[in-house]
Structure 1
Amino acid sequence: METIYIFFVIGFVVLIMGAKWLVEGAVSLGIRANLSPLVIGLTVVAFGTSLPELVINVFASLKGSSDLAIGNVLGSNIMNIFFILGVTAIIFPINVERISVRRDLPIGIFATIFLFITANGYFLGFENVISRIDGIVLLIMFGLYLFMTLRSKNPIDPDMKIDTKIPESWLKTTVLLIAGLTGLYFGGEWVSEGALAVAKAMGLSESAVGLTIVAAATSLPELATSIVAALKKNVGIVMGNILGSNIMNILIVLGTSAIINPLDFNTKLNTEIGMLLLANLGLFSLIHIGKGLHLSRREGVILTTVYIVFVWFSVVYN
């Protein structure tokens, strides 16, 4: 049993490093293919933040662990808004990009409502399952979101720099791609197996582990990036990155998971969907009630406190 725990922890490290290497290799490949920095940033780099969630969900879907897969996405999104934005705002108040409020927040709210309706099939006379057709619809919605982003006047923040320097050789690019894919495979396998073992050993449900432990670990890249940005007082892109990651988690991660294997929905998770919807609406209110497009330290404390209560509730209730 101890060995499984060790692989569980190591798996997260391997998974995150694998995502980093794969993104670096894919960026290099994109540059060699003469893709614009804008396209690379909106696809490869942005998608890289959701790779850990995607890989874990793919393995969870293959194992039939629907609660773990859905819990991971909901937990990651809730942590992104309440904890990561909260901690970042405490370190240094966040100036919010106008496009995040006008485009990303409404899309995040719509995606959450769509997930609720889709998962609770009894509203439409179906079973509570996120089906393969639902998964395809989610991916189509992401395609539309990407199209809207590419067409917008301010599709990407100028602070989001893309290193256009081509690696010294094709060999380095190939090694990065292979190492990244290998890391994602083994990291995802070890984490998914470890999560199920932890749930069994601690007497927790799969959804509780997905909502807390796995979600927290897969959100580490976003947390690290946001804290570094706050310490450097360069928080202009934090909000957009977090909201974009949340949209990808629902549309791409859950969409892909459902296509691989339809996800049975546990209605207990409606509480978390409601919490995520509340998070988006609350964030929208905080931004407008306060000093305009701004997230203050006091509001950061509120967000962080709510997340701590949520984690306690998830472990006890689930």
Structure 2
Amino acid sequence: MSYVLLLLGFALLIKGADFFVDGSSSIARLLNVSPLLIGLTIVAFGTSSPEATASIIAALNGNPDVALGNVIGSNMFNITLVVGLTALLSPLIVTNATLRKEIPFTLLASIALYIFINDQMIEGAVESTLSRSEGLILLLIFCVFLYYIFEVARTSPREQKIVQDFAIKPTWRKNIFLSILGLAMIIGGGELVIRHSTAIAFSHGMSETLVGLTIVAIGTSLPELVTSLTAALKKESEIALGNIVGSSIFNIFFVLGTAATITPMHVDSRVVVDLLLLIFLTLLLLVFSRTRYTVGKYEGLILASFYIGYMVYIIWRN
């Protein structure tokens, strides 16, 4: 039965992503808001809902290895495989704003987390933890990021005034309905995928850390993958890239910040190595994005290959 529900989850993810990209990109055009901004907020936070749900539940249940592994594994999946496969379908155009602010902010998020979880090296502690106070700091930084995003939206020049008349209301209603329906299908599909893929994984004797870094991370990141691939096929590259970058920022600052605020999290020393690799790969994405302001097919192939190598490594390590 778990396998059937797993397939149902995949189906909901795929169709939900199609509805969500259509609705959110249309809303962006109606509001004269940059698709990148929509990708960084509505799409990114919506597709990160499974990560938030899984990590917060894991923290409440006393499974910090799953919670932390989920976020690091999800971001690794986003930066490498999601960017890589999306770029293979359609080169990702990198705007100046993304290059100067959003991608470096993603790198900052990973570096901040590395400092917070490396108590043994930095402070000489017996063990490393992500404390409540550090969780609150992560949430505070997330609020600063949200303020920046809304300031960009408020000060962005608008090409034309929106006419609020009866004729446009059906278009608004349709796109809002599509966005909400798509988001519900994405979250529901993600929940089915993570619940039943985790049950299948545990039945095969996998450890909590490995489950968090692989099955849970991949399962909760499927919305980002499907949404970004769908956006790329629809030539909405700004939504695709904004979704990936926004989700990675959301995962560290909001998801881990909330989970650590609920309960302090013990850190497996092996996760520190995974986080160092994530920092390197985020830096590599930043370098690639400087090449003609585009992440092309060649760079996408390199990033996707890194993820395959990473999967082989952590399975062997376990």
Could you tell me which residue of structure 1 aligns to residue 48 of structure 2? 50
What pairs with 1:89-100 in structure 2 (closer than 5 Å)?
89-100=87-98
Q: Is residue 2:227 matched to residue 1:228? A: no
Q: Which of 63, 66, 69 is 1:68 aligned to?
A: 66
What displacement does 1:112 show? 0.7
Q: Does the 8 Å contact 1:13/1:187 carry over to 2?
A: no
In structure 1, how many angstroms separate the alpha carbons of the residues matched to 2:248 and 2:93?
19
Return the TM-score normalized by structure 2: 0.77
Distance 1:116 1:90, change over 3 A: same
Amino acid at match of 2:112: F
- Cα root mean square deviation, aligned: 3.9
Match 1:82 to one of 80, 83, 100: 80
Unaligned stretches of 5+ in structure 2?
21-30, 159-167
What is the Cα deviation at residue 237 of structure 1?
Answer: 3.1
Give CA deviations for 1:108-158 in whole Å, capped at 9, x if unaligned. Answer: 111111111111222235441112211111110000111122223798899
Matched with 2:270 is 268
Letter of the 1:282 partner, please give it.
L
Match of 1:104 among 71, 80, 102: 102
| Aligned sequence identity (%) | 37
Structure 1 residues 263 and 195, CA gap change in structure 2 (3 angstroms): farther
1:213 pairs with 2:215: yes
CA gap 1:307/1:85 in 2 versus in 1, 3 angstroms: same
The match for 2:304 is: 304
Distance 2:156 2:309 in 1: 34
State the AA in 2 paired with 1:304: A
- Counterpart in 2 of 1:257? 259
Change (3 A) 1:231 1:195: closer
1:279 is aligned to 281
Distance 2:4 2:60 in 1: 22
Separation in 1 of the partners of 2:118 and 2:206? Answer: 23
CA separation in 2, counterparts of 1:157 and 1:220?
34
Bigger shift: residues 112-121 or 224-233: 224-233
- What letter matches 2:282 in structure 1? N
Q: Alignment length, in residue pairs?
A: 295
State the shift of 1:217 in Å: 1.9
How far apart are residue 225 of structure 1 and its match?
2.0
Tell me how far 1:240 sits from its aligned partner: 2.2
Structure 1 length-normalised TM: 0.77
**Superposition pairs for residues 88-237 of structure 1, below 5 Å?**
88-122=86-120, 123-126=122-125, 127-152=127-152, 167=173, 188=191, 194=196, 197-237=199-239
Q: How far apart, CA to CA, are the structure 2 residues paired with 1:230 and 1:276?
A: 24
- Seen in structure 2, the aligned counterparts of structure 1 residues 46 and 120 have a Cα distance that, compared at 3 Å, is same
- Distance across 2 between alignment mates of 1:297 and 1:138: 34
Q: Which amino acid aligns with 2:53?
A: V
Distance in 2, Cα, partners of 1:271 & 1:167: 48
Counterpart Cα distance in 2 of 1:155 and 1:205? 48
Inter-CA distance 203–180: structure 2 relative to 1 (3 Å threshold): same
AA aligned opposite 1:124: E
Q: CA deviation at 1:5?
A: 5.8
Q: 1:104 to 1:120 in 2, by over 3 A?
A: same
Contact 2:44 2:242 in 1 (8 A): no
The letter of the residue matching 1:61 is A
